[in-house]
Amino acid sequence: MIMAGYEYRGERPFRNVYLTGIVRDKLGRKMSKSLGNSPDPLDLIAQYGADGVRVGMLFSSPAGNDLLFDESLCEQGRNFSNKIWNAFRLIKGWPVDEQASMNEVNRSAIHWFESRLSQALEEINDHYSKLRISDALMATYKLVWDDFCAWYLELIKPAYQQPIDPESLKVTIDYFEQLLAILHPFMPFITEELWHLLRERNDDIIVSKWPNKAGYDSDSLNNFNAASQLIADIRAFRQSKSISPKESLRLIIRSEKTPAAIEQFGSAITKLANCEDISIVDSKPADAFALLSGQLECFIPMTMQVDKQAERAKLEEELKYTQGFLRSVMAKLGNERFVSNAKPEVIAIEQKKKTDAEAKIRAIEEALNTL
């Protein structure tokens, strides 16, 4: 067509040519009737929905490379539809208190998501401009699933049977609407359906405007990353100590002044990590577990019931293992043949293992002393 364009019209027939790879089965074999490894697309659509199959196809097809198709991708696509549907039902299910005003958690969550949405949209637009459609999908998927559903909605969500304030609900529905628009090219049907369930309206999403955002607050995004990391670390801490999420904790942070992440998202951390309060101190408190989260040096006082016996046994077990590991690394580093023959970067890795193990042993010993 390019040749004919120049020969017969004297100009290019098109500006861009997009080349796809071949769809193969998950073992990398070409699909064929005789191998029986070629699913009928219409059956897949009947089972997972057209949106689910569309998303499933694009989950694993970086531009120009072969796609290794596995039906579980369509399942993942359908799960994504369900996630979006459930987010909608959640929002629609909240009672509203017309008199209530916006609380601190919601204010910080809304401020953060505004920036996050712009940032993600910038990334998504960039992928589209380079025709990296699968990357655009992955960025969209993360924005909706991780940022909106897993973080934003959790923050905004009123306590059980409690109402939400009208302003927060309005902003949340606006965000949801913009997400539907960004999702529409990938999932045309569920987005059109929800567009109309969200509000009584005559306009259709298919001809709605692509969201337009400009600029974002990087400080807010960085602070949120630190805050969400801390929440994840506290959750992991609870799990390792078998502390129920319902039991509230006290969080102590050693710092000269209140860290920016705490300043901005302290209330969010309190809500999602179930903390009674967050206090800032300038020296290491006694009788507390140490928890290093990114740059934040945190402590959790041992007020809650901890089985000291079990805790000690666990720490001792870990200490024994780490000491054994250190010994094996030391043996390697003490082996002259290894040291003189190995590449410098290999030796550097072993050195790092050594210092890491030593630091870990110190931390465990300190924890045992505190117990």
Partner 1 sequence: MEIPKTFQPAQAEQRWYSHWLQKGYFRSVPDEREPYTIVIPPPNVTGVLHMGHMLNNTLQDVMIRRARMLGKNACWVPGTDHASIATEAKVVQMLREKGIRKADLSREEFLRYAWEWKEKYGGIILEQLKKLGASCDWDRTRFTMEEDLSEAVIDVFIDLHRKGYIYRGLRMVNWDPAGLTAISDEEVIHKEVQSKLVYVRYVLVGPDEPFDATDATAVQRKFDAGESITIATVRPETILGDTAVCVHPDDPRYAHLRGKQAIIPMVNRRVPVIFDDYILMEFGTGALKVTPAHDINDYTLGTKHGLEVIDTLNADGTMSEAAGHYVGEDRFVVRKRIVKDLDALGHIVKVEDYTNKVGYSERTDAVIEPRLSMQWFVRMKEFSKPALDAVLNGEVKLHPEKFVNTSRTSLDPAG
Site stretch for partner 1 (CB under 8 A), options 62-70, 153-161, 271-279, 333-341? 62-70
Site for partner 1 contains 313 (CB under 8 A): no
Site for partner 1 contains 35 (CB under 8 A): no
- For partner 1, how many residues bind (rule: CB under 8 A)? 66
The residue within the footprint of partner 1, chosen from 76, 79, 208, 255 (CB under 8 A), is 208
Which sign does the torsion angle of CA 310, 315, 321, 323 carry? negative
Site for partner 1 contains 197 (CB under 8 A): yes
Helix (H, G, I), strand (E, B) or coil at 164: strand
Site for partner 1 contains 27 (CB under 8 A): no
| Residue 170-189 contact track with partner 1, rule CB under 8 A, x = bound | -----------x--xxx-xx
Which sign does the torsion angle of CA 174, 177, 181, 182 carry? positive
Site for partner 1 contains 50 (CB under 8 A): yes
296-301 and 249-254 strand pairing: antiparallel
Site stretch for partner 1 (CB under 8 A), options 30-38, 250-258, 269-277, 302-310? 30-38
User: In this complex, which beta carbon is closest to partner 1, that of residue 3 or of residue 286?
Assistant: 3
The residue within the footprint of partner 1, chosen from 94, 128, 237, 338 (CB under 8 A), is 128
The residue within the footprint of partner 1, chosen from 75, 85, 304, 367 (CB under 8 A), is 85
288-293 and 67-69 strand pairing: unpaired
Site for partner 1 contains 39 (CB under 8 A): yes
User: In this complex, which beta carbon is closest to partner 1, that of residue 81 or of residue 267?
Assistant: 81
Q: Find the helix or strand (DSSP H, E) in which 339 lies.
A: helix 336-341
Q: Find the helix or strand (DSSP H, E) in which 25 lies.
A: strand 23-25
- Closest-CA residue to 242 (of 284, 179, 305): 305
- Whether residue 177 contacts residue 111, with contact meaning beta carbons closer than 8 Å, is answered with no
Site for partner 1 contains 149 (CB under 8 A): no
Rounded distance, CA 226 to CA 184, Å? 31
Binding to partner 1 in span 86-125, by CB under 8 A: 88-89, 92
Site for partner 1 contains 52 (CB under 8 A): yes
Site for partner 1 contains 51 (CB under 8 A): yes
The torsion region of residue 162 among left (phi > 0), alpha (psi -120 to 50) and beta comes to: beta
Site stretch for partner 1 (CB under 8 A), options 60-68, 144-152, 153-161, 313-321? 60-68
Rounded distance, CA 80 to CA 179, Å? 13
- Closest-CA residue to 166 (of 200, 319, 277, 174): 174
364: Cβ contacts below 8 Å, ≥ 6 apart: 315, 318, 319, 322
Site for partner 1 contains 82 (CB under 8 A): yes
Rounded distance, CA 4 to CA 13, Å? 8
Site for partner 1 contains 29 (CB under 8 A): no
Binding site for partner 1 (CB under 8 A): 2-8, 12, 14-20, 22-23, 31-32, 34, 38-39, 41-42, 45-46, 48-54, 57-58, 61, 63-64, 67, 69, 81-82, 85, 88-89, 92, 128, 130-131, 133, 181, 184-186, 188-190, 192-193, 197, 204, 206-210
